Structure 1
Amino acid sequence: MSLQYGVSLYSYTGDMYTLLTLDDAMAEIADLGATGIEILGEGNVPGYPAPTTAWIDSWHALLDRHGLTATNYGSWIDSRMWQHRDLTVDEGVAILHRDLGLAATLGFTTVRPKIGVVSMDLTPHPIWEQVVERSLDRAAELGIVICPEIHAPTPIRHQVVDDYLTFIERTGTDHFRLLIDTGIFQRAATFAKHAGLSDEAQEEGWRKPLAVPMSDLVAVLPYVAFVQAKFFGITDDLTDPQIPWPEIVATLVTHGYDGYLSSEYEGDRDPYRGVEQVRRQHALLRSLEAGLR
């Protein structure tokens, strides 16, 4: 078994608006030797949530042309859509069902629902459990796995993750799993400037490192459907000052993970920097995997 490699279009944020077309981005991904492409529904689908038939046809044509597989589709269930009230369970179900359908139409096999949170440690709004449970049959019909993201500042050993695992055990479902964002393994701060962050967040150096140990990843790996390979910058000599890739890759390979590592670059957004950084990351990851085989 080997790791599979992909790229999130989020890695090319900025370039996608001014320098790269979707065709260009897919060509870049294919040229890496990667096979997977990950998108954010609201950010990457023109006319979301109802793209034209022509766009859907062009999407599939581009996948075929570049030999790519649609991997993970990012969805939002905005529990605070309204200022005067929270989203209801019925409304959340409608949103998730809609995005599951669009994801299936575009060929995706996993959907990451980003549900509104109620605390700074990213505890999801209480509607999450009913929304997901009422969507499991729909996900099964479409052949999709719903996988919430374990993202800093939430570590693996946390009530949020415990609740997800309890849900899996209680329902016995094969259509709800975890998505691991490798930012939780970050060991050092990064001072990359990132659009949309508050001054306070910028001064703190983006996100504070959680340094989640590899043993915690091993414990949940049987429940992991997808890995977003979050990173902030790879140096000229192909090292990462923040994310411990040698340990991550060794853990995944040793314990039989054969799913996707999908690049998610969140460093400086200078023109073409995302393109170059993703290339560096793939060179690093592949060299590490090759050294273990």
Structure 2
Amino acid sequence: MSKIKTCVSLYSLQDEYLNKRMSLEDIFKFLADNTVEGIEFLPDQMMPNAPHPSEETLAEWDRLVSSYNMRPVIADVFLNTNLYKNRELTPKECVDLLIDEIKLANRLGIRLIRLVSMVPAFVIEPLLPYAEKYNVTLALEIHAGLSFDVPKTQEFIKEMKRLNSPYVGLVIDAGIFCKRLPRVMANYCQQHLGTNQEVINYVNNIFAQGTDPRKVIIEHNGFPDDLKKLLKSDADHFFAHFADGYENEPYSILDEYMPYIKHFHFKLFEMIESGEEYSIDYKGLLKYLHEKGYDGYVSTEYEGNRWVLPGNPMEEKEQVLAHQALIRSVIKELEEQEVY
């Protein structure tokens, strides 16, 4: 049997929540009705006064988790080191803020925290006693555009390996495995902002060659000259700069990190009629994880919502369910292959 389990990040339904089409209870009910057992929760987004919610808020959380038999898998935590205008937070202030997040996660029944990319490595060692006391693991997100070769990411990984604790690890964002540029992003930039189709074609061709814009920019120490010639408007520049946030890495980049990986964000930009995700080969990624014996959750994280054209319907719920269906079908297929 595959050890891979599925859940849904509530980030995927943020527009429904923000615009009050769905309450937190509506979201729980929707997921439970569609046999989703696990959730990835963003306390800052959906829990008033986090990380210090009221007793009433906590009691309501307990009721929802119990009533809908929902498993809280992971909490997404942000560390705003630029909280003040005139200075960055001191190391002690950073650690103190994250101690509060660890305590809240424990209270919510969550045993894993996702630390947002670029969290400084110096927080790990002083946080370890609290992680152990409250049984909450800390995992840095390896996000597209801020991947393994970024200096701050390297610093965190170096410290993680030095400490070698089961309470420190990584969350991998599948946006580092884009085989194609998200079509919804390109369509938005062209139809709403006015990006030149030639610029979009240029970037699409980069992916077609098996690489990605970020690598090309690093190789040329900036935009290549032939791309610069195509950039004629603010919309062109916006698109070109934003395109370097999607990476095209081989799955093997994870080989050395598998012992440290605690969770996956299965990024979703657009489900298409074939039942697949337009940019990312999830069949290939799940096969890789299955073969590596990955024992953990993969979380649907829908980000296509930010690229919905004005006047078009928001389809967060539909996209989430289609993505869950894809993941579950692939896992089932892998399990059946294992039997035979």
CA contact (8 A) 2:42 2:77 kept: yes
Seen in structure 2, the aligned counterparts of structure 1 residues 178 and 65 have a Cα distance that, compared at 3 Å, is same
Contact preservation (8 Å) 1:4, 1:35: no
2:107 counterpart letter in structure 1:
T
Residues 159/84 of structure 1: CA separation in 2 closer, same or farther (3 Å cut): closer
Farther off after superposition, 235-244 or 145-154:
235-244
Letter in 1 for 2:4: L
1: CA distance, partners of 2:148 / 2:116: 17
Q: Distance in 2 between matches of 1:132 and 1:279?
A: 36
Match of 2:144 among 142, 145, 152: 152
CA-atom RMSD in angstroms: 2.3
| Counterpart in the other structure of 2:34 | 32
Who is 1:4 aligned against? 5
Amino acid at match of 2:316: G
- Name the counterpart of 1:97: 99
1:40-55 to 2 correspondence within 5 Å? Answer: 40-55=42-57
Q: Does 1:82 align with 2:84?
A: yes
- Which residue of structure 2 aligns with residue 230 of structure 1? 267
Aligned equivalents of 2:159 and 2:326: distance in 1?
A: 36
Distance 1:47 1:84 in 2: 24
Which amino acid in structure 2 is aligned with residue 226 of structure 1?
A: H
Contact 1:182 1:227 in 2 (8 A): yes
Q: For the residues of structure 1 that align with 2:237 and 2:276, how far apart are their CA atoms?
A: 25
Deviations 1:49-102 (A, max 9, x none): 321111111111111111111111111211111221111001001110011111
Distance 2:94 2:154 in 1: 22
Q: Which has the higher helix share?
A: 2
Tell me by how many angstroms 1:39 deviates: 1.5
1:254 counterpart letter in structure 2 = E
Q: CA deviation at 1:172?
A: 2.5
Which residue in the other structure is 1:217 paired with?
254
- 1:159: how far off? 4.5
Taking structure 2 as the reference length, the TM-score comes to: 0.77
Q: 1:187 Cα deviation (Å)?
A: 1.7
Deviations 1:231-279 (A, max 9, x none): 1010122011101111111011111112111111000356551110010
How far off its partner does 1:32 sit? 2.9
One-letter amino acid matched to 1:203: F
1: CA distance, partners of 2:150 / 2:290:
25
1:120 corresponds in structure 2 to none
For the pair 1:172 / 2:164, whether they are aligned, the reply is yes
After TM superposition, give the deviation of residue 163 of structure 1 in Å.
3.0
**Match of 1:27, SS?**
helix
Contact 2:121 2:152 in 1 (8 A): no
Residues 73 and 108, structure 1, Cα contact 8 Å, conserved in 2: yes
Question: Aligned letter for 1:177?
Answer: G
Q: Aligned pair count?
A: 281
Instruction: Confirm or deny that 1:273 pairs with 2:274.
Output: no
CA distance in 1: counterparts of 2:241 and 2:36, whole angstroms: 30
- Mapped to 2, the partners of 1:48 and 1:178 lie a distance apart of 23
Shift in Å, 1:141: 0.5
